[in-house]
Amino acid sequence: MVEIKKIILDKTGSTYIKTVVLFLVSISVIALFIQVMPVAFMKIELYKFGKELKRTVEINGTVGIEAKQREEELVEKYGINPEIEYSEVGDIDIGENFTITLKTKMDIGIWGIKDSVPLVEEVVGTSEVYHK
């Protein structure tokens, strides 16, 4: 009984174990950061994509050929092909608001678990064109 008590109270090697555990936790946090950061960067790219597309619709005052051409240019520029939904179709009169919703998915894998993360970006604009 006394020997078991001595073994339990003995602190030899505890610093080594603490160091190993701290190292493993640190590596896990770094690995998580490396896997999650691309999702944040993709969200930023999706926002910039939406902002540029919104500006095109604001200037032209219509969701039509110009917007479709700009979509294709932005797909080429950013290398992402989101699903795009417009709240208005056709001519949008001056001062009217419209919303563009961009949706895409990004695959991530953390510690052998693979999953798809949905990314949604919504931008709101106001038409600057008066249609007679």
* pLDDT recorded at residue 11: 65
For residue 31, being part of any structural domain is answered with: no
For residue 28, being part of any structural domain is answered with: no
For residue 7, being part of any structural domain is answered with: no
What's the pTM value of the predicted model, to 2 decimals? 0.76
The count of domains in the chain is: 1
Percent of the chain at pLDDT above 90? 52
For residue 63, being part of any structural domain is answered with: yes
Torsion of CA 111, 41, 119, 86, to 10 degrees: -170
* pLDDT recorded at residue 22: 85
**70-118 residue pLDDT tens:** 999 999 999 999 999 999 888 989 999 999 999 999 888 776 778 888 9
For residue 81, being part of any structural domain is answered with: yes
Q: Range of 111's domain?
A: 40-126
For residue 22, being part of any structural domain is answered with: no
For residue 34, being part of any structural domain is answered with: no
* pLDDT recorded at residue 132: 74
User: Counting every residue, how long is the chain?
Assistant: 132
For residue 54, being part of any structural domain is answered with: yes
* pLDDT recorded at residue 60: 92
pLDDT band at 12 (very low <50, low <70, confident <90, very high): low
